[in-house]
Amino acid sequence: MTGWLHPSSWPITVKVPLAVAALMILVGIVLSERVLAHLDESQQRHLRDLAQSYLDGLSSAAAPSILRDDVWEVFDAIERAQALNKSVNAAETIVANADDRVIAASDPRRFPTGAPVPRLVLDQTHAQPFRFDIGGDRAYAMRVLAYPGREVGTIFASFDTSHLASERRGVILTLAATNGLLTFLLAAAGWVLVARMMRPIRVLSDHLGSARESGATPIAGDVVAHSRGEFARLFGAYNELVHSIDQRHELSARLAEEEKLGSLGRLASALAHEINNPLGGIFNALATLKSHGHLESVRAGSIDLVERGLVGIRDVVRSTLALHRTDGSTRDLIPADIDDLGLLVAPEASRRSVTVSIYNGLVGGIPVPSSSVRQATLNLLLNALAAAPPGSRIDLSAHVADGGLLLEVEDRGEGLPAAAAEQLTGASTSRPLRDGSGLGLWMTRRLMDTLGATIAVERPEEGGTIVRIRVPVSRHEVLADVA
């Protein structure tokens, strides 16, 4: 959740409009500040000029009356000055004598004649001729009236500047609204632009994402055709990549098929050999029967010989059928399946003068698919046979332990190469090697993966290789079987 808050994780379609908005806000603030500064300056100057002109008029009209302390004339002068200077919006005007006592004010009820000028009024101007706080509702001005060498009175005036304040607020609102609208429009334009520019990238990333889950598919031709420039080249390169991956997949499948056919061929020749041996004996027995069949002892011996030969052929045929059953049905593994493996590899073993020793520790059915386990174990045995030196021994053991089926194949060859071992254990996810070697191991790995089995490879000090497969079995069913 917090990762989403971090800006670097945001999509570029968000980042660019945000950056545009941030820049626009910055520009808006700077521009607004300049406009407002100019407005404030012009308002202040304008107001100061108006106030000065108001005070000029009033002081020239009232000065003689101030000297005479003529209350009415001063009051009349104030009223006339206010009427004449309507644009300055004089709010309050007080004319005081040299002792800061009111002679007359625009509002005599608040500032009665003869009363001292309130402290507040004296402080309003901070003893400056003019004071205006930007955005305030009032401006204050003060004018000391002096006849050469003598101060005769003071005029205090305040001006209603609420119209200036509201004008300023209006300008601020206009600036904010304009800048806000511009920022929004530019950010939206940025979003649209980036979204358009990013569309080919999204096409590519969507294809790459789906490639991880369901295999790479090329980008549709019309999309590529509508692209220009670097994106057209990028799409082209991607489609070539997908094409080459597909070719590699096809090659791998063909190699697997060839390997299957190859082992089938080897099995077929072994099978023919296996059948050929008893056939030779059977034909010899038949020849003996033809010529010496009338002899009781010879006849019985020959028939026995024919029968044993036919039993041997039947066993071979039956186990081959069991291994290559193609009706798709799955059944549980039974101890005979392991014994059959010995029969299947026996011809190849005798051809290579290798002894195959089988320890079958299974009792009853084991709830794992028999065909996958047998195919995988057969692959391991054939691989061990290929690696075993003549005269050596290969050990296959099968038993149930710790709620799983354990299969162990040990040879005394030169040891499984590291790359092949990695293929087998799943440490390497690479495809079979280009020359087709290691295909049996790769297929074993895939068969065991479907069962959730683990494969371990051990290379003992004294040489050779031990491959251990552990196929998990449901504990309940194992216990049931044991019982």
Partner 1 sequence: MMGSVGATASRRLLLKQIAATTAYFMASRSYSRASTEELRFGLTPVFLTSDLELLGRLQLYLSRATGLPVTLLTRRTYQEIVALLISRQIDAAWICGYPYVMHEGELQLVAIPEWRGRPLYQSYLIIDADRQGDGLGDLRGDTHAFSDPDSNSGFLVTRAALAEMRETPERFFARTFFTYGHRNVIRAVASGLATSGSVDGYVYEVVAAIEPALTARTRIMWRSEWLGFPPIAAPRNPVDPGRLALLSKALLNMSDDEDGRAVLAMLRLDGFVTRGAELFSPIAAKAALVASAG
Q: Summarize as ranges the residues that interact with partner 1 (CB under 8 A).
A: 70-72, 75-76, 79, 104, 107-109, 112-114
Pick the closer one to partner 1 by CB: 34 or 110.
Answer: 110
Q: How far apart are CA 480 and CA 338, in angstroms?
A: 21
Residue 110 CB, nearest approach to partner 1 (Å): 8
Query: In this structure, are residues 240 and 216 in contact, taking their beta carbons and an 8 Å threshold?
Result: no
Q: Identify any residues that bridge with 139 across adjacent strands, giving them in sequence order.
A: 132, 159
Q: What angle do CA 427, 433, 438 make, to 5 degrees?
A: 70
92 or 408: whose CB is closer to partner 1?
Answer: 92
Burial class (CB in 10 A: 0-12, 13-18, 19+), 6: exposed
Q: How far is the CB of 73 from partner 1 (least distance, A)?
A: 9
SS3 track for 407-474:
EEEEECCCCCCHHHHHHHHCCCCCCCCCCCCCHHHHHHHHHHHHHCCEEEEECCCCCCEEEEEEEECC
In the complex, what is the shortest distance from the CB of residue 109 to partner 1, in angstroms, rounded to a whole number? 4
Write the DSSP symbol of residue 131.
E
Shortest Cβ 102–partner 1 spacing (Å): 10
**101: DSSP letter:** B
* Residue placing its CB nearer to partner 1 in the complex, 92 or 410: 92
Nearer to partner 1, 70 or 339 (CB): 70
* Amino acid, single-letter form, for residue 444: T
List 132's β-bridge partners, or say none.
139
Q: Which stretches within 293-334 are classed as H helix?
A: 296-323
Question: Pairing state of beta strands 138-147 and 130-132?
Answer: antiparallel
Q: Is the sign of the CA dihedral 67, 70, 71, 76 positive or negative?
A: negative
* Least gap, CB of 72 to partner 1 (angstroms): 4
Nearer to partner 1, 109 or 228 (CB): 109
Place of tokens 């998990």: 472
CB of 126 to partner 1, least distance (A): 29
- Give the integer Cα–Cα distance in Å for 110 and 158: 14
**Residue that the structure tokens 């003529």 belong to:** 70
Q: Give the N- to C-terminal CA distance of the chain in Å, as an integer.
A: 52
Q: How far is the CB of 101 from partner 1 (least distance, A)?
A: 11
Q: DSSP letter at 116?
A: B
Residue 132 is encoded by which pair of tokens?
A: 């205006």
Neighbours of 94 (CB within 10 A): 26
Least separation in angstroms between CB 65 and partner 1: 11
When the beta carbons of 50 and 102 are compared against partner 1, the nearer one is 102
- Distance (Å, whole) CA 385 – CA 394: 7
300 HSE (CA, 13 A, CB side): 2
CB of 104 to partner 1, least distance (A): 6
Bridge partners (DSSP) listed for residue 471 = 405
Alpha carbon distance 78, 111 (integer Å): 13
As measured in angstroms, the least distance from the Cβ of 156 to partner 1 is: 17
Closer to partner 1 at the Cβ: 106 or 371? 106
No. of helices (H) and no. of strands (E), the chain? 13, 12
Cα–Cα distance, 394 to 409 (Å, whole number): 7
How far apart are CB 79 and partner 1 at their closest, in Å? Answer: 8
Least CB distance from residue 115 to partner 1, whole Å? Answer: 11
Choose between 112 and 265: whose C-beta lies nearer to partner 1: 112
Q: Which residue, 108 or 301, is less far from partner 1 as judged by CB?
A: 108
Question: Residue 116 or 293: which CB sits closer to partner 1?
Answer: 116
Between 75 and 130, CB nearer to partner 1: 75
Return the number of the residue (100 or 246) whose C-beta is nearest partner 1.
Answer: 100
